[in-house]
């Protein structure tokens, strides 16, 4: 699992997935469905062990800048969540690894290619902003300390729209 200098990207499937593996409970079923997986993501986001947003397939492999405090105002979309980081840290993982954890109860939500974010144990607000400049989206992932009373309840995966 990488702790080298960060070169963060939206994953191949168009997701941004940030996980606190100490408390993440991702197992769904060996035969999970997308609906059940999305429900599990929302449950884990509301428990403070996961942040997921879906910029979409057109954003796959787009660069993500990392910041430790909110310093910008979003010109485009913004999604936030609260994550409780334990001793195992906070990691940028991907949708594929989360689906593996959903299918196999002994699978970790992080893989050898996952990237540990430079934060210590604590409570954080994780925010993903998409800014559009010259028709090219720019993504900024901010992880900043969260107060004890801050909440960010989710009822769905931010920016994910299911088509029937």
Q: What is the pTM of this model?
A: 0.91
Q: Which pLDDT belongs to residue 87?
A: 97
Candidates 15, 101, 91; CA nearest to 52 is 15
Summarised one tens digit per residue, pLDDT across range 45-85 is 999 999 999 999 999 999 999 988 766 555 589 999 999 99
Indicate the DSSP class of residue 2.
Answer: B
Q: Which pLDDT belongs to residue 18?
A: 98
Q: Which pLDDT belongs to residue 69?
A: 75
Domains of the chain by start residue, with CATH:
8-145 (2.60.34.30)
Q: Which pLDDT belongs to residue 44?
A: 98
Q: Which pLDDT belongs to residue 1?
A: 45
Candidates 45, 13, 25; CA nearest to 155 is 45
Q: Which pLDDT belongs to residue 23?
A: 96
Cβ density class 99-112: b for 16+ within 10 Å, e for less:
bebbbeeebbbbbe
Q: Which pLDDT belongs to residue 11?
A: 97
Residues of the chain with pLDDT under 50: 1-4
């Amino acid at each position: 699992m990488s702790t080298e200098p960060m070169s963060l990207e939206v994953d191949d499937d168009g997701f941004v997935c940030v996980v606190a593996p100490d408390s993440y409970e991702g197992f769904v079923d060996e035969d999970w469905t997308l609906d059940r997986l999305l429900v599990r993501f929302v449950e884990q986001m509301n428990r403070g062990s996961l942040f997921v947003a879906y910029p979409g397939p057109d954003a796959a492999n787009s660069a993500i800048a990392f910041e430790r405090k909110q310093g910008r105002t979003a010109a485009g979309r913004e999604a936030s969540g609260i994550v409780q980081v334990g001793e195992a840290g906070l990691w940028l993982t991907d949708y594929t690894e989360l689906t593996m954890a959903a299918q196999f109860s002994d699978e970790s939500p992080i893989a050898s290619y996952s990237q540990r974010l430079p934060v210590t144990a604590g409570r954080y607000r994780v925010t993903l902003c998409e800014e559009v400049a010259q028709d090219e989206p720019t993504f900024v992932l901010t992880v900043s300390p969260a107060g004890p009373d801050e909440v960010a309840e989710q009822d769905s995966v931010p920016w994910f729209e299911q088509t029937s």
